[in-house]
Amino acid sequence: MAVMKFGGRILSNLFSRPATLNYPAEPREYPERSRGHVEFDPTNCILCGICSKKCPSHAVSVDKKGRTVSIDRKSCIQCSYCVDSCPKGCLSMRPGYCEPGASIPVDVFEVPEKTVSQKETD
C-alpha cells in the first residue's frame, strides 16, 4: 500500500514537456504504409469491374458504358482489397485521409478510350 503512488509521476510531468502534438497547427506526417485513401490512375484501367465486385462496402463502382470508375469516399473503409485485386494496378493506397465536411464527395474518374495500339503495347 502506498498513498499517492502516482504523485511523483504527475509532479514530474508538470515540469516536463507535454506530449501533445501541435495538430492541426503543425500537420502530421504519416508513415508510408499508412492506409489513408484510395487513389485511382485511369491509364491502365480496363473497366473489368473486379474492384467493384471485391469492395466489401460497395464503395467503388464501375460504369462500363459511361466509362467511369467512382469511389464513394463516404463508404470506403480503406481495406485495400480493391488495390490488391486490381489486375492492372490502377488503384493505390496513399497516406492522408479524406477531409471531413458537410458532404463527402463521390469521386468520379473518367477512363479515357484506349486505342487498340495502346492495348497491344500493354
List the one residue out of 113, 122, 43, 48 whose CA is nearest residue 86. 48
Q: If binding is defined by CB under 6 A, does position 97 make contact with ligand SF4?
A: yes
Cis peptide before 24 (omega within 30 of 0): yes
Locate cell 497516406: which residue? Answer: 95
The three-class DSSP label of residue 67 is coil
Least gap, CB of 25 to another protein (angstroms): 10
The three-class DSSP label of residue 97 is coil
Q: If binding is defined by CB under 8 A, does position 100 make contact with another protein?
A: yes
Cell of 101: 465536411
Q: Name the site residues for ligand SF4 (rule: CB under 6 A).
A: 36-38, 45-51, 53-55, 57, 59-60, 62, 69, 71, 73, 76-82, 86, 88, 90-91, 97-98
Binding site for another protein (CB under 8 A): 1-7, 9-11, 13-14, 16, 18-21, 23-24, 28, 30-35, 54, 56-58, 72-81, 84, 93, 97-104
